[in-house]
């Protein structure tokens, strides 16, 4: 049953095929969003399933819209945004959630100078250029609507850099700084820009990272995950739905006066204010 928090709002969520992105799409539908466009750079079948879930939650066909888009490509971003805006008739919310992890490009924990340059380019393309291209394409629609939200899903590393993850720390920091700057520029247009910083969250990606770390250190994935949970004051990792609910709030009219912030959703793990 929709709770009305996002009633009448149209949104586009990148990287929505699984994990946190899928949880966000479901949360938006439950909050009464009038339309949710979900994108993925890989499987159309995967995101069509998410679009069907959105329809089921909303109780109305056509609430979910599935589009494939490689966010590294400026034209693909523009096409996805225009298709969503044309299908819905308006666009109010952009959630930049698409991202490549270090493992995806063979750049696991290592000294910064050991990073593969090709891996660096791929990470920059998806994690930095992607949000920029999507936001640029969406901006005119948000301005036309007279109300908008841009939310970037990045990492707690923008507050406290993570050891051995120099590349990830760099790209997340770039997005955070860009978002803070743009928040001041679009505020007069009734658009907010915020970043959500998830801690360790129970997704397929976290499981893959745990497996890789376990193999390297000679332990088990279960032990690695237990160690991660032990570092969190709440004693556990997050569920994707917990991240999604924080994003749904920032996307709603209830957050009208919140802009330019980095919101950790990490169970209190980040050791700074």
Q: What is the mean pLDDT of residues 186-196?
A: 98
Is 271 part of a structural domain of the chain? no
Cα of first residue to Cα of last residue in the chain, in angstroms, is 36
Is 272 part of a structural domain of the chain? no
Same domain, 255 and 208: no
Is 3 part of a structural domain of the chain? no
Q: Which of 43, 232, 67 is nearest to 134 (CA)?
A: 67
162-183 burial: b if 16+ Cβ within 10 Å, else e = eeebbbbbbbbbbbbebbbebb
Is 173 part of a structural domain of the chain? yes
What confidence score (pLDDT) does residue 155 get?
92
Q: What is the mean pLDDT of residues 94-112?
A: 66
What band does 74 get if pLDDT is binned at 50, 70 and 90? very high
- Kindly tell me if the per-residue pLDDT of 6 is higher than 90: yes
The CATH number covering residue 28 comes to 3.40.50.720
Same domain, 153 and 96: yes
Name the region of 170 (left: φ>0; alpha: ψ -120 to 50; beta: rest): alpha
Q: Which of 168, 136, 138 is nearest to 154 (CA)?
A: 168
φ/ψ (deg, to 5) at 39? -125, 155
Q: What is the mean pLDDT of residues 99-107?
A: 56
Is 225 part of a structural domain of the chain? yes
Same domain, 190 and 208: no
Q: What is the mean pLDDT of residues 41-59?
A: 94
What confidence score (pLDDT) does residue 49 get?
97
Is 270 part of a structural domain of the chain? no
Same domain, 212 and 159: no
What confidence score (pLDDT) does residue 176 get?
96
Same domain, 161 and 96: yes
Q: How many angstroms separate the CA atoms of 66 and 84, rounded?
A: 9
What percent of the chain shows pLDDT beyond 90? 77
Structural domain span for residue 206: 202-237
Is 131 part of a structural domain of the chain? yes
Q: Give CA torsion, residues 94, 100, 101, 104, to 10 deg.
A: 160
What band does 229 get if pLDDT is binned at 50, 70 and 90? very high
Specify the number of domains making up the chain.
2
Look up residue 152 and give its two tokens. Answer: 């970037």
3-class secondary-structure state, position 10: strand
What confidence score (pLDDT) does residue 105 get?
47
Same domain, 216 and 175: no
- Kindly tell me if the per-residue pLDDT of 102 is higher than 60: no
Integer CA distances (angstroms), 76 to 11, 24, 39, 162, 234, in order: 17, 22, 11, 32, 40
Same domain, 48 and 25: yes
Same domain, 245 and 130: yes
Q: How many angstroms separate the CA atoms of 137 and 67, rounded?
A: 15
What confidence score (pLDDT) does residue 79 get?
97
Integer CA distances (angstroms), 169 to 36, 155, 182, in order: 30, 8, 20
What confidence score (pLDDT) does residue 101 get?
57
Q: How many angstroms separate the CA atoms of 247 and 124, rounded?
A: 23
Q: What is the mean pLDDT of residues 5-25?
A: 97
Same domain, 158 and 226: no
Q: How many angstroms separate the CA atoms of 25 and 66, rounded?
A: 11
Is 142 part of a structural domain of the chain? yes
Q: Which residues contact 162 (CB under 8 A, 6 or more apart)?
A: 155, 156, 168, 169
Same domain, 120 and 229: no
Same domain, 170 and 210: no
Do residues 71 and 41 lie in contact, with contact meaning Cβ atoms separated by under 8 Å?
Answer: yes
Same domain, 112 and 229: no
Centroid of chain to Cα 195 = 9
Look up residue 169 and give its two tokens. Answer: 């720390």
């Amino acid at each position: 049953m929709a709770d009305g928090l996002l009633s009448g709002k149209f949104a586009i969520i990148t990287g929505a095929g699984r994990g946190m992105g899928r949880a966000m799409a479901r949360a938006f539908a439950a909050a009464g969003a009038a339309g949710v466009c979900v994108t993925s750079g890989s499987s159309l079948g995967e995101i069509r399933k998410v679009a069907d879930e959105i329809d089921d939650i909303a109780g109305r066909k056509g609430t979910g819209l599935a589009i494939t888009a490689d966010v590294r490509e400026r034209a693909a971003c523009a096409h996805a945004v225009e298709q969503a805006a044309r299908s819905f008739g308006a666009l109010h919310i952009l959630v930049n959630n698409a991202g490549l992890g270090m493992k995806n490009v063979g750049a696991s924990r290592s000294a910064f100078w050991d990073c593969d340059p090709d891996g660096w380019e791929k990470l920059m393309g998806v994690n930095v250029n992607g949000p920029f291209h999507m936001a640029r394409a969406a901006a005119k629609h948000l301005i036309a609507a007279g109300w908008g939200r841009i939310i970037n899903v990045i990492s707690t590393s923008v507050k406290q850099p993570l050891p051995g993850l120099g590349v990830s720390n760099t790209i997340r920091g770039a997005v955070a700084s860009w978002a803070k700057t743009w928040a001041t520029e679009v505020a007069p247009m009734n658009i907010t820009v915020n970043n959500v910083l998830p801690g360790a969250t129970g997704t397929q990606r976290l499981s893959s990272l745990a497996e890789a770390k376990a193999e390297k250190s000679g332990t088990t994935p279960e032990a690695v995950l237990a160690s991660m949970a032990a570092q969190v004051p709440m004693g556990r990792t997050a569920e994707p739905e917990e991240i999604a609910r924080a994003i749904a709030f920032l996307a709603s009219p209830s957050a009208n006066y919140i802009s330019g912030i980095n919101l950790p959703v990490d169970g209190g793990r980040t050791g700074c204010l």
